[in-house]
């Protein structure tokens, strides 16, 4: 990304997936613009609670992998925010706000956890019936 110019599009897959360097000084979807200190504070508090929750609960290896995806993405975005003052976003799908790979890992980790919990709940209901 060091050679990319801010906001200049670089076609990756035609006009569908474009790389476009953007510095997001806000949170998801650009909300809370310029509230960097607040977002760093909230991010650190979230990570502390998240790590305590992981340490106290019992998770399968698969669940720990998904939680690791969330944790890795959150740490990466927090690193950007602390050391750059903004999160570096670069994936532009043209129909969605520009995001980065860390956001993708957070979203997929959450999605996979939810799917797993719904599957477990469905299995438990069948056993109880």
Active-site annotation, residues: 89, 103
Q: Give the separation between CA 2 and CA 15, rounded to whole angstroms.
A: 22
Q: In terms of C-beta density within 10 A (0-12 exposed, 13-18 middle, 19 or more buried), how is residue 56 classed?
A: exposed
Q: Encode 84-95: b = buried (16+ Cβ within 10 Å), e = exposed.
A: eebbbbbbbeee
Q: Give the separation between CA 63 and CA 83, rounded to whole angstroms.
A: 30
């Amino acid at each position: 990304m060091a050679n990319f110019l801010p906001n200049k599009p670089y076609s990756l897959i035609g006009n569908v997936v474009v790389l476009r360097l953007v510095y997001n000084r806000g949170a998801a979807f650009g909300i809370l613009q310029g509230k960097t200190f607040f977002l760093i504070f909230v991010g650190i508090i979230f990570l502390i609670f998240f790590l305590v929750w992981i340490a106290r609960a019992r998770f399968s290896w698969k669940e720990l992998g998904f939680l690791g995806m969330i944790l890795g993405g959150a740490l990466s975005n927090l690193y950007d925010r602390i050391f750059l003052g903004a999160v570096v976003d670069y994936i532009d799908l043209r129909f969605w706000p520009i995001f980065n790979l860390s956001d993708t890992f957070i979203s997929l980790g959450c999605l996979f956890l939810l799917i797993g919990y719904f599957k477990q709940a469905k299995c438990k209901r069948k056993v109880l019936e």
